[in-house]
């Protein structure tokens, strides 16, 4: 077994963005495997014993975070359906550049960049697709464009002395998820959650435990994964309407009944997003807009992926199925 695959060898691993659901799960899994974990984020992370707080824009803070680390797993990002482009650049592009340079200077050997399949989703349906090439000029939405540019930076830094892989978990969800699950449930309860094209689009998603395991596996399998981009999903495509109904049922919300044509939602989303920003959303609005063009595309076009390369390279398969994940989600809401 190669040293990078030897899960019994403890390493010093920096995890950025550990205050988020996925970053926290990755940090905890690494601890469970016996690694020393340092976290880097603006606020406190759960149960962190070694953490550096700061911004990716602060080069001194970044340098302090990577000092003495063997590896980095980079999850910190600005994730939003809307917002000023310069904010995405500052965190997702410039922040990643700062972290890459500081990591190389500190002698870090392995770097896992957590990306998104949206970096290679250009608005058309994806059915059984591979990872595809990240393209910031073709990706839709500021988040996808900025992550595409950052992924190209990261993979462009790959070398025998500084190994980099990009892991792209797709639509991660699970208990404690405030970005997808909680928004679906709250909007459904408020009657503000339409289905597009009857919710028929077939999509892949990733349960939180599987996403965290695949990211950690990317580090363990760096001999095989470096220089590659790998999409990670549950490998269980479902109609988006079926998945949303399952999340609503788990959270005690009614399934959406309103149907809107996809073409209409995409056009309306473009207009709403512009009006939302023009209204001064960064200061006056504290929620996402009800619809954007990117969100409408995600809800009305198929996007599911061939997982054979991912399973082969990572020597891994997901352990928690969609139905079991929905059961765990329901148990979470009953307990809370």
Can 207 be counted among the known catalytic residues? no
pLDDT: which is higher, 127 or 264: 127
Looking at residue 285, what is its pLDDT? 40
Distance from the Cα of residue 21 to its chain's centroid: 10
Q: 251 with 329: CB under 8 angstroms?
A: yes
* Interatomic CA distance for residues 169 and 154, integer angstroms: 16
Looking at residue 122, what is its pLDDT? 86
* Interatomic CA distance for residues 21 and 24, integer angstroms: 5
67-71, 111-115, 176-180, 294-298: the lowest-pLDDT one: 294-298
Catalytic residue among 81, 111, 143, 316: 143
What are 178-216's pLDDT values in tens digits? 888 998 899 889 888 888 888 899 999 999 999 999 999
How many CB atoms lie under 10 A from the CB of residue 127? 13
**Residue ranges of the domains in the chain?**
11-172+206-233+305-319
CATH code at 11-172+206-233+305-319: 3.40.50.720
Model confidence at 284, pLDDT cuts 50, 70, 90, reads very low
**pTM to 2 decimal places:** 0.91
């Amino acid at each position: 077994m190669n040293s990078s695959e030897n899960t019994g060898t403890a390493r010093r691993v920096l995890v950025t963005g550990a205050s988020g659901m996925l970053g926290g799960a990755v940090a905890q899994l690494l601890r469970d495997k016996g690694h020393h974990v340092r976290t880097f984020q603006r606020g406190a992370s759960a149960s962190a014993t070694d953490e550096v707080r700061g911004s990716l824009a602060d080069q001194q803070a970044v340098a302090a975070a990577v000092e003495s680390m063997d590896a980095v797993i980079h999850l910190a990002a600005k994730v939003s359906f809307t917002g000023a482009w310069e904010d995405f650049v500052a965190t997702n592009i410039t922040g990643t550049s700062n972290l890459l340079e500081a990591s190389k200077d500190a002698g870090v050997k392995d770097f896992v960049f957590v990306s998104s399949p949206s970096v290679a989703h250009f608005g058309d349906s994806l059915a059984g697709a591979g990872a595809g090439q990240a393209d910031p000029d073709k990706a839709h939405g500021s988040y996808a464009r900025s992550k595409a540019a950052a992924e190209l930076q990261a993979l462009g830094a790959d070398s025998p002395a500084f190994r980099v892989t990009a892991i792209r978990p797709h639509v991660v969800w699970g208990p404690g998820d405030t970005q997808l699950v909680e928004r679906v449930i709250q909007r459904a309860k408020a009657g503000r959650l339409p289905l597009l094209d009857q919710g028929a689009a077939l999509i892949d998603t990733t349960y939180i435990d599987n996403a965290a395991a695949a990211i950690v596996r990317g580090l363990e399998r760096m001999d095989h994964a470096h220089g590659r981009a790998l999409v990670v999903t549950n490998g269980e495509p479902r109609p988006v309407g079926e998945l949303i109904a399952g999340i609503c049922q788990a959270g005690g919300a009614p399934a959406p009944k309103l149907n809107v044509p996809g073409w209409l939602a995409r056009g309306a989303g473009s207009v709403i997003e512009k009006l939302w920003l023009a209204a001064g959303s960064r200061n006056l609005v504290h929620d996402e807009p009800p619809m954007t063009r990117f969100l409408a595309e995600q809800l009305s076009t198929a996007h599911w992926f061939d997982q054979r390369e991912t399973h082969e390279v990572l020597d891994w398969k997901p352990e928690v199925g969609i139905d079991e994940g929905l059961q765990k989600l329901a148990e979470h809401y009953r307990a809370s």
